Amino acid sequence: MPADSGEDFYKNILHNISDGVYFVDKNRSITYWNKGAEAITGFGSEDIIGKSCFDRILIHVTDDNQNICKGGCPLAATIKDGKNREAAAFFHHKSGHRVPTILKTSPIRDASGKITGAFEIFNDNSENFEMTETIKKLKEDSLLDILTGIANRKYIEQKISENINEFERYGHKFGLLFIDIDHFKAVNDKYGHNAGDEILKIISKTLSKNIRSFDTAGRLGGEEFVVLIQNIDINSLKKTSEKLRALVEASSYQSHNPDIIISVTISVGATISRPGDKPKDILNRADSLMYQSKKSGRNKVTMDPDIK
């Protein structure tokens, strides 16, 4: 058997597993990129091989938008001390949105035991099965927004009514985030409505992929979105709101012109259900809080000061 056939055999296995796998040398230049990595991130090997993991491609960030490629990189640390690591990070997808992942790093050693690089295994941490079932049900009931593929106004209004009924019967509080894209008209005016549509899709994916399977992200229309969060308190509401705001800020759309990268921010109003709320009450309250975020500088979350 040829000497390299064993290596080819293992590479063939790695190339076809669903998890993302990539190798780097000691300078963190990427030397191998499998099909799983391509499926999760949208980047093919032709986009990645020879690039460094800290180049503006994958752009690993934490849920508060800290770029770990520039500081705190698990691969760099593994190359330095030879220890395995595990971390949660959000990858930049080629289409612009953020993908939640769990990643694991391990060193690569030569025959003498010297570290020559490292490899990373990562997987999409979205709750895919539950989300697929939800999407299937929404499609059956014509409750999806046609452009973005997330819940539409009709579904959001139905869901708010259901949540209020549960709150009145069982006391289960829920949170509502009212979200509006900052300066969206300027994006459309400058780059065209096609670019604007892509921004709407990117934000929809960023919101829907970074909430729990039993929470709901929907588009009311235009540049307005709502996220419904179950079983919430003020601390977790604030944490979730800030996470989504930061992840949208970290997302971007690159047009066919490689020199044009479009990023936007969002203004958010966050509230929690109150006794006696009607659907329009909680929506209007969150909408008013969102406008406070606009007035105070945009790219902000305004929490309901009366939350108890």
- Which positions are annotated as active-site residues? 223
Task: Tell me if 55 sits within 8 A of 234, measured CB to CB.
Answer: no
Nearest one of 110, 123, 138, 261 to 208, comparing CA atoms? 138
Q: SS3 helix, strand, coil % of the chain, rounded to 5?
A: 40, 25, 35
In sequence order, the 6+-apart residues with CB closer than 8 A to the CB of 194 are: none
Which amino acid is residue 275, in one-letter code?
Answer: P
* Helix extents (H) in the chain: 5-16, 35-41, 45-48, 74-81, 128-140, 153-170, 184-191, 193-209, 234-250, 279-295
What are the φ and ψ backbone dihedral angles of 96, each rounded to 5 degrees?
A: 115, -25
Q: 229-261 burial string, b = 16+ CB within 10 Å, else e?
A: beebeeeebbebbbbbbbbbbbbbbeeeeeeee
Q: In 3-state terms, what secondary structure has residue 40? A: helix
CA–CA separation, 97 and 282 (whole Å): 28
Q: Using alpha carbons, list the distances in angstroms from residue 145 to 164, 171, 228.
A: 23, 30, 16
